[in-house]
Chain A
């Protein structure tokens, strides 16, 4: 734990204890993983002006409202606050003239987990019982040649796939355009222009405007781990075809880690594209960490404009070697971020009453809008047919 008086040059040189304590606190929060900008710290200071700086509860709530911007981060904040202000050897102890009454009150009223370990401590390394099919836990960092598939097979599938169009549902945008029919709002400009053409006569015809629509982004996330080996080749071909027939398609694949292969699949010739993707993806045919991979997607890509409002298609059998809680959380976040989640599970096959038997599938199930199989061409066609009406 860094000393509160060390981290910042501005703090070292003659700042009052109050400033150095608060800045030190912000540093601690950052070290604990919260995203806190300098502007937020300034707001924190400004917020203390109308409040009582000797009241620990005011310090607590002011920080909580200015430095924490999402509910999930609250727990981390609480832990750091306790460690920083309340513990026996707390860095802030003795530095601030705190109202002893408020400290006692804070001790009592702030319901914070003390030193008890979090739910996800230590469980990482423990061996989990493997449910359902075996998922290999080896993080095999080896290249696998895509070109190993039989040429006839590839060619036949490719021909069919290139004819398949993936059209994600459309969404309305803020902009409007002139329509020929009746729109939602009158277009005064067009109407007046028409009227002017008739020397100011009242217009014979009213013009209308209508909201434009735009395709939602389509995101394919493919499982290329060992347990999916039989299908990943076809899915990748499919992704390549989709990348070239539809606009706004992003492709990712994962085994133990997530890799973005949109650019690699951008090459026109499929063999070259697959070869390039094979070079980029290092965890081909290895183990599976769906939870972590989706979490990475949500954190790194989804938060931008990529995932937001898009349709996410995840192709995986749900054999997860990672922590199911991570998967559940990632799916929940993903569900809130994107418009719809489609899950292709090859093990579903043609079985209409398919019940997920793997732990990963069961955890993910509540967040899935549409579950298809994707084990053969027919089911991929089913996906193509279902996409436009997902609205």
Chain B
């Protein structure tokens, strides 16, 4: 399916896919689609950075290829690996005569024995894929430099096979939680957008889209409480994802009101740190009062 040409259309399509993008995000995404530039999304935890990529892929029928970064990630885990075990088996299976044969040796380093990892897969898929490079800030900066190379040319050189080039660049979305400063060079390659916490009204809308079964009244109260939680000095303030989880949890328990008891029982859905939990329990009445 073709990507849309206007901001309004894109917003509408994402909304149909269950994602509410504000004007800024929608404009940035549209530019990314039109210019085929990677997008760097930064923002607090749980505001829907990863979700954009998922929704984009789902709505437009693209394949989502996800590369989750972590400290010590190596290029072979991101790019490709040779299937050693199969290569060894193949060598054993070859007869003496075949082993000296040029062709059968060449075959050992053919596509059959190549294990595609996310980046190679994305380059092979081209426009049929949405590449999500998640939490890039967790990878080492050497990996960042390597990524830079891939993202600027969309091509990968494999010594045994030659260069593989994307016939059309995939849509690339990078996310970062800012645990580490990214290199300027990488930033310059990307369009940049910061996703902040939404306003209460907007957050209620988002939750309503994600949890259609929940009563609007309950959603309103939970959102108000979540917004108040963010004002507290928490180690890990709840994101929108946590708000949605909270509403869902209350729904599972059959609660229709955010009472002190219900809130206290379900706090685990929003607060994920022990010190935070103590702080919130102390102020619980205030947080849910008037909600």
Contact = CB atoms under 8 A, between A and B. Distances in A.
A39 B84 contact: no
A133 B27 CA distance: 53
A329 to B, nearest CB: 13
Interface stretch (A22-30, A171-179, A255-263): A171-179
A356 interface: no
Contacts of A171: 140
A336 B179 contact: yes
Interface stretch (B11-19, B34-42, B57-65, B249-257): B34-42
Contacts of B187: 69-70
B84 A337 contact: no
Contacts of A266: none
Nearest to B31: A47
Interface string B192-224: 111000000000000000000000000000000
Nearest to B192: A69
A190 to B, nearest CB: 12
Contact of A174 (B82, B140, B180, B188): B140
A61 B141 contact: no
A202 interface: yes
B266 interface: no
A58 B42 CA distance: 20
Nearest to B94: A200
B194 to A, nearest CB: 5
Interface string B165-202: 00000000000001111001001101111100000000
B72 A211 contact: yes
Contacts, number: 98
A375 to B, nearest CB: 32
Contacts of A211: 72, 74
Given A61-B23, A65-B31, A211-B72, A336 B140 contact: no
Interface in A53-104: 57-58, 61-62, 64-66, 68-71, 74
A69 B180 contact: no
B75 interface: yes
Interface in B61-106: 72, 74-76, 82, 84, 87, 92, 96, 99
Chain B interface secondary structure, helix, strand, loop or mixed?
Answer: helix
B183 to A, nearest CB: 8
B75 A174 contact: yes
Contact of A109 (B23, B42, B192): B23
Interface residues of A, number: 41
A337 B28 contact: no
Contacts of A61: 23-24, 27-28
A173 B192 contact: no
Using C-beta atoms within 8 Å of the partner chain, give the interface range for chain B. Answer: 35 or more
Q: Which of B27, B42, B141, B194 gathers the greatest number of chain A CB atoms within 10 Å?
A: B27
Contact of B191 (A66, A173, A202): A66
A61 B32 CA distance: 12
A35 B184 CA distance: 10
B14 to A, nearest CB: 15
A62 B23 CA distance: 11
Nearest to A44: B31
B192 A68 contact: yes
A47 B34 contact: yes
Contacts of A37: 188
Nearest to A109: B23
A51 interface: yes
Contacts of B35: 43, 46-47, 50
Contacts of B194: 71, 74
B31 A40 contact: no
Nearest to A202: B92
A40 B7 CA distance: 21
A262 B130 CA distance: 47
Contacts of A185: 76
Given A50-B31, A71-B42, A303-B184, A65 B140 contact: no
Given A66-B191, A69-B192, A43 B87 contact: no
B259 to A, nearest CB: 35
A43 B191 CA distance: 9
Contacts of A69: 40, 184, 187-188, 190, 192
Nearest to A37: B188
Given A62-B27, A68-B192, A336-B180, A174 B141 contact: no
A202 B99 CA distance: 13
B31 A309 contact: no
A286 to B, nearest CB: 30
A200 B97 CA distance: 12
A309 B140 contact: yes
A308 B141 contact: yes
B190 A50 contact: no
A347 interface: no
Contacts of A39: 188
Contacts of A74: 194
B110 interface: no
B180 A70 contact: no
Contacts of A115: none
Interface in A180-206: 185-186, 188, 200, 202
Contacts of B76: 185
Given A51-B27, A336-B178, 6 more contacts: A37-B188, A50-B6, A69-B40, A174-B75, A174-B143, A303-B181
3 smallest CB-CB distances across A and B, nearest first, come from: A61-B27, A69-B187, A50-B34
16 contacts: A47-B31, A47-B34, A47-B35, A50-B33, A58-B7, A58-B27, A62-B31, A65-B24, A65-B27, A65-B193, A69-B184, A69-B188, A71-B194, A174-B74, A174-B146, A188-B87
